Amino acid sequence: MASPPTNLHFVLFPWPAQGHLIPMVDVARMLAERDVMVTVITTPVNTNRIKTVIDRAIEAKLKIQVLDIQLPFAKAGLPEGCESFDMIPSVSYVANMFLAMKLLEEPAEEMLRVLYPPPSCIISDGGFHWTSDVAKRLSIPRIIFYGPGCFASLCINIVNNTNILDDFKSDSDYFALPGLPDCIEVTKPQALSWGKGNTKETKETFERTQEAEKAAFGIVVNSFDALEPKYVEEFAKATGKKVWCIGPVSLFNKSLEDIAERGNKAANGEHDCLKWLDSREPRSVVYVCFGSFSSTLTDQAIELALGLESSNIPFVWFVRRTSDEFEKWASEGQYEERIKGRGLMIRGWAPQILVLSHQAIGGFITHCGWNSTLEAICAGIPMVTWPHFADQFLNERFIVNVLKIGLIIGAEVPITYRGKEKFEVMVKREAIKLAVEGLMNDEDEAQTRRNRAKEVAQMAKKAMEDEGSSHLNLTKMIVAITEELALKNKSIKDIV
């Protein structure tokens, strides 16, 4: 099904966090490739992060632009320049960040009102609930982008629309989420980390997000139909919305530059890492990375370092940020000398897709962020699952219980992101060693997991090919918007 010729103009509002910005930029270019004009509205720091990718798209003659919107730092009580969730100095600024996002409503609407050609559709992150009101005032449809796949979104929908949590007192007991195609068990604290919120502000945000979902034209999801067919269907039923799975959107990137430059600039050790990987046996190395804003606190980072060292498996570990205490521990104990030749620890941003698709990589220790999960799926790599917070525990269930391509490390309690409070080591070195060896050995269980991961990777590639399900779903989404606008124009003409 080819895309119809369009004179559509989509405006995209990505949530200011790498795990939302990166896939939204993929969606923007996928739309532009279908002859849709696309405007991405984001803050200057984020504009800068996506500049080279967007510039290349413009050079390739795609109709795409990025417009800056300024954050009202002072009004929101944020430090100047703090424009993304990975930049907030401490957990106490999360509420300020949410406030800043809310304060964008007025300036964003002013921008939309003078855009030319006028916008025909808004695709905005679930967090930008106010885009629903703006879309209504501009008489254009709004499509939601939440971030996770349909499995996690359906679980969240169930918790948000029932009082199931009220029935449970214990924080450690597991209970099954009702109404799901598979038996999926979670604890109350895990469910609370993606639930309704407990302060006046979080409750208000939750209610507005729910209302905005009811008013939405549809939901676009970074997933593909064959990955979670029952959950796509059930999620559409639960929300009563059209749901278009158009991913994995990372597979849209074909050139080496687009694959390598996602999000921040890669760490200095990038080339050494790739050279080192070139020298390793196929599928022999474990890649470790916990996404764009999880922090591993000192004691846990030391435990991880020791766990990796004690397994006999080669590894490459990209650490987003280390503490002075960790550095002191590593240098006094000569950690990096000890692991030389068998392990690499690189401080900074990983060129994740490049690493995951290297033939030497055979496993991934992941925090189960949805993008990382999908990127591992695309590379056909089985995972050791180590969720930290938010939807990550659900993604773990999906990887392990539904897809059966992962091995649990045993993290059960959500950690408060960027928390400075007393922190106990949640995953011990023995568990790390066991999980890594269990993932990488040649036993039947590991082999089955590996084969299954390869099968799912093939399914992902197929979905993104021309005439694949995701390709078709994107066409359907564009057609649905075209029809909606035609209907609206017709009713205006009828009235006149």
Q: Which residue has the tokens 């046996």?
A: 281
DSSP type of residue 402: I
Q: For residues 146 and 217, which CB has a smaller minimum distance to ligand UDP in the complex?
A: 146
Q: For residues 164 and 368, which CB has a smaller minimum distance to ligand UDP in the complex?
A: 368
Q: In what order do the strands lie in the sheet with 285-289?
A: 343-347, 315-319, 285-289, 361-366, 383-385, 406-408
For residue 414, cis peptide bond before it (omega within 30 degrees of 0): no
Q: Which residues pair with 42 in a beta bridge?
A: 68
Q: For residues 463 and 481, which CB has a smaller minimum distance to ligand UDP in the complex?
A: 463
406 within 8 A of 308, measured Cβ to Cβ:
no
268 within 8 A of 350, measured Cβ to Cβ:
no
We find the least distance from the C-beta atom of residue 37 to ligand UDP, in angstroms, to be: 25
We find the least distance from the C-beta atom of residue 4 to ligand UDP, in angstroms, to be: 31
Q: For residues 21 and 313, which CB has a smaller minimum distance to ligand UDP in the complex?
A: 21
We find the least distance from the C-beta atom of residue 111 to ligand UDP, in angstroms, to be: 26
Q: For residues 263 and 406, which CB has a smaller minimum distance to ligand UDP in the complex?
A: 263
Segments in 390-443 forming alpha helices (H): 392-397, 429-440
We find the least distance from the C-beta atom of residue 348 to ligand UDP, in angstroms, to be: 7
**Residue 144: which residues within 8 A CB-CB, separation 6 or more?**
123, 124, 125, 126, 212, 213, 216, 218, 219, 220
We find the least distance from the C-beta atom of residue 22 to ligand UDP, in angstroms, to be: 4
DSSP type of residue 17: S
CA distances from 458 to 153, 187, 478 (A): 24, 33, 26
Q: For residues 100 and 378, which CB has a smaller minimum distance to ligand UDP in the complex?
A: 378
**Residue 85: which residues within 8 A CB-CB, separation 6 or more?**
16, 17, 94, 97, 293
Q: For residues 217 and 364, which CB has a smaller minimum distance to ligand UDP in the complex?
A: 364
We find the least distance from the C-beta atom of residue 19 to ligand UDP, in angstroms, to be: 2
DSSP string, 210-277: HHHHHH-SEEEESS-GGGSHHHHHHHHHHHTSEEEE---GGGG--SHHHHH-SSSPPPTTHHHHHHHH
46 within 8 A of 16, measured Cβ to Cβ:
yes
Q: For residues 15 and 93, which CB has a smaller minimum distance to ligand UDP in the complex?
A: 15
Q: Can you read off the two tokens belonging to residue 3?
A: 């895309």
Q: For residues 141 and 149, which CB has a smaller minimum distance to ligand UDP in the complex?
A: 149
We find the least distance from the C-beta atom of residue 392 to ligand UDP, in angstroms, to be: 7
Q: Which residues pair with 318 in a beta bridge?
A: 346
Q: For residues 25 and 41, which CB has a smaller minimum distance to ligand UDP in the complex?
A: 25
We find the least distance from the C-beta atom of residue 250 to ligand UDP, in angstroms, to be: 7
Q: For residues 164 and 415, which CB has a smaller minimum distance to ligand UDP in the complex?
A: 415
286 within 8 A of 315, measured Cβ to Cβ:
yes
We find the least distance from the C-beta atom of residue 185 to ligand UDP, in angstroms, to be: 23
Using N-to-C axis directions, what is the helix angle for 298-310 and 429-440, rounded to 10°?
Answer: 40
We find the least distance from the C-beta atom of residue 45 to ligand UDP, in angstroms, to be: 15
We find the least distance from the C-beta atom of residue 72 to ligand UDP, in angstroms, to be: 24
Residues that bind ligand UDP (CB under 6 A): 17-19, 22, 262-263, 289, 291-294, 318, 349-350, 352, 369-372, 375
Q: In what order do the strands lie in the sheet with 242-245?
A: 64-68, 37-42, 9-13, 121-125, 142-145, 218-221, 242-245
236 within 8 A of 243, measured Cβ to Cβ:
yes
